[in-house]
């Protein structure tokens, strides 16, 4: 056998397994070394076989994790549609629905697809607890003193250092720590808006951000967002003259999971800089990328200081710690002053624990495992939904984060479907929560940061049945 035909032969065998369904969407391929032994060939031959399969989009590589059967190879369901451009003239109240979803969480034995919160088993709790004990011993005052309002210098330094990886070009002096990303966004809005101002957001968009904007008396314009590439730049341009501030999630928007291409980020920052419109960038999912690199935030292209880059450790490490940050650009002084007035300082302990976690490489290590689990979960969920949901179901293809967005048959109202699902101990987030407009009735968001197991599999199947029986 010639060397060329050898690698093609191996590639062909694997292709057969994929097409026949022996190996399924998201399955991990055996390692190069295992395949080498299996066929008694050189490691280079196996590499060539894998490259061949990858070039045909049948498999895809994940850094430091190996090769997986590609989603693209088998995708059967369509992407969700893009929402229309709408301002908040005829708003619908989401509060009751949000309260209903939150209240349902008290139910015992519930499968929690509704909130964007990772399962406990996904978090390095024992290591964090050890960190707390270590840090307490190190702090003279046990964390009883106020820290300066800007926040822990150690944490700010760790975030700044790590932001250099994606060319953030920040120093510790550019950052202010906050009580999570929501608190960062709240303070940014408080700093740059006044009641009656108009804010642009993606649509669909995280309900918390809408609610904060409304509570501050802002008008919301919902900008169409593509499930893959995010904000529709042309739509934004059409209304830019009406806008006082933007709040976007360029990296893995919630709930769509879209990722703005770098050229769009550059264009966006340029356009907003010219008009002196602040951009509040909610980058709390940015570390949970499924690609090879951490995508840059818009902040990386900000020269005028108009981008207020917000992030947190709530989605990746410890929601309950309430530790986040903002790099507020030219609004820094105002943000620090607000933090001082509102709460004097943030608790020092958790900030030091996280700084220590980052400094010793434990955060990177955890993120790598966490991303792999999420990537694999995303496959499993998509596969289950393709199998158990109606054929006209549309489903997002997130490139990071841990939520899926589903668009169901137009006749379905997920707000009433929710009641049925809750009776069966399954919760999800109805689509109407993600807009102020009269839309997304037939959509839902699912959290996939849960440990994949037979129960989750069965619950997705049961949810599919509920959807099928809904009309």
Q: Which residues contribute to the site for its own copies (CB under 8 A)?
A: 117, 120, 123, 125-126, 128-129, 132-133, 136-137, 140-147, 179-180, 182-183, 186, 195, 208, 211-212, 215, 314, 317-322, 337-338, 341-350
State which residue, 78 or 129, has the beta carbon closest to its own copies. 129
Q: Which residues pair with 202 in a beta bridge?
A: 223
* DSSP secondary structure, 366-401, as one string: HHHHHHHHHHHHHHHHHHHHHHHS-TT-EE---SBS
Q: How many residues does the chain have?
A: 471
- Minimum distance of its own copies from residue 276's CB (angstroms): 23
- Residue 464: helix, strand or coil by DSSP? helix
Q: Which residues pair with 429 in a beta bridge?
A: 445
For the chain, state the CA radius of gyration.
23
Tell me the CA distances in angstroms from 382 to 72, 188, 426, 469, one per residue in order: 12, 36, 17, 20
Longest dimension (CA), the chain: 76
Buried b (16+ CB within 10 A) or exposed e, 187-201: bbbebbbeeebbbbb
- Minimum distance of its own copies from residue 402's CB (angstroms): 16
Residue 201 near residue 211 (C-beta atoms within 8 A): no
E-state strands within 228-306: 230-231, 245-248, 279-282
Q: Which residues pair with 444 in a beta bridge?
A: 406, 430
- Minimum distance of its own copies from residue 146's CB (angstroms): 5
Q: How far apart are CA 357 and CA 352, in angstroms?
A: 8
E-state strands within 106-178: 111-112, 176-178
Residue 13 near residue 39 (C-beta atoms within 8 A): no
- Minimum distance of its own copies from residue 150's CB (angstroms): 12
Residue 197 near residue 191 (C-beta atoms within 8 A): no
- Minimum distance of its own copies from residue 359's CB (angstroms): 20
Q: How far apart are CA 48 and CA 59, in angstroms?
A: 13
For residue 89, give every residue at least 6 positions away whose Cβ sits within 8 Å of its Cβ, in sequence order, or none. Answer: none
State which residue, 275 or 337, has the beta carbon closest to its own copies. 337
- Minimum distance of its own copies from residue 18's CB (angstroms): 38
- Minimum distance of its own copies from residue 3's CB (angstroms): 52
């Amino acid at each position: 056998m010639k060397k060329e035909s050898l690698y093609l032969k191996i590639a062909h065998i694997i292709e057969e397994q994929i097409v026949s369904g022996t190996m399924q969407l998201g399955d991990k391929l055996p390692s190069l070394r295992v395949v080498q032994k299996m066929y008694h060939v050189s490691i280079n031959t196996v590499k060539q076989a894998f490259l061949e399969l990858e070039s045909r989009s049948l498999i895809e590589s994940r850094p430091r994790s190996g090769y997986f059967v590609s989603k693209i190879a088998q995708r059967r369901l369509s992407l969700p549609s893009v929402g229309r451009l709408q301002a908040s003239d005829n708003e619908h109240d989401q509060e009751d629905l949000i309260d209903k979803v939150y209240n349902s969480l008290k139910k015992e034995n519930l499968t929690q697809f509704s909130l964007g919160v990772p399962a406990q088993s996904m978090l390095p709790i024992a290591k964090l607890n050890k960190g707390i004990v270590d840090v307490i011993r190190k702090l003279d005052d046990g964390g009883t003193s106020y820290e300066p309002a800007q926040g822990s210098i150690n944490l700010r330094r760790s975030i700044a250092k790590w932001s250099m990886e994606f060319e953030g070009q920040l120093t510790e002096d550019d950052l202010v720590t906050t009580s999570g990303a929501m608190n960062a966004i709240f303070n940014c809005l408080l700093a740059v808006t006044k009641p009656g101002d108009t804010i642009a957001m993606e649509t669909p968009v995280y309900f918390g951000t809408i609610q904060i904007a409304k509570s501050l008396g802002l008008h919301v314009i919902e900008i169409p967002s593509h499930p893959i590439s995010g904000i529709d730049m042309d739509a934004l341009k059409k209304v830019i003259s009406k806008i006082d501030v933007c709040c976007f999630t360029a990296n893995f928007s919630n709930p769509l999971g879209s990722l703005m291409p770098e050229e769009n980020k550059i264009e966006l920052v340029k356009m907003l800089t010219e008009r002196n419109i602040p951009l509040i960038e909610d980058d709390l999912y940015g570390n949970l990328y499924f690609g090879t690199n951490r995508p840059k935030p818009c902040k990386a292209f900000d020269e005028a200081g108009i981008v207020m880059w917000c992030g947190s450790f709530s989605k990746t490490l410890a929601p309950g710690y309430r530790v986040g940050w903002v790099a507020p650009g030219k609004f820094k002084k105002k943000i620090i002053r607000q933090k001082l007035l509102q709460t004097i300082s943030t608790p020092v302990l958790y900030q030091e624990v996280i700084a220590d976690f980052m400094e010793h490489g434990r955060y990177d290590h955890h993120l790598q495992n966490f991303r792999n689990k999420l990537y694999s979960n995303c496959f499993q969920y998509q596969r289950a939904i393709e199998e158990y949901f109606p054929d006209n179901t549309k489903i997002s293809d997130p490139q990071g984060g841990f939520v899926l967005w589903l668009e169901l048959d137009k006749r379905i109202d997920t707000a009433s479907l929710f009641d049925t699902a809750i009776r069966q101990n399954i919760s999800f987030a109805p689509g109407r929560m993600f807009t102020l407009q009269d839309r997304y009735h037939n959509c839902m968001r699912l959290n996939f940061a849960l440990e994949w197991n037979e129960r989750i599999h069965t619950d997705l199947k049961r949810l599919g049945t509920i959807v099928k029986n809904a009309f």
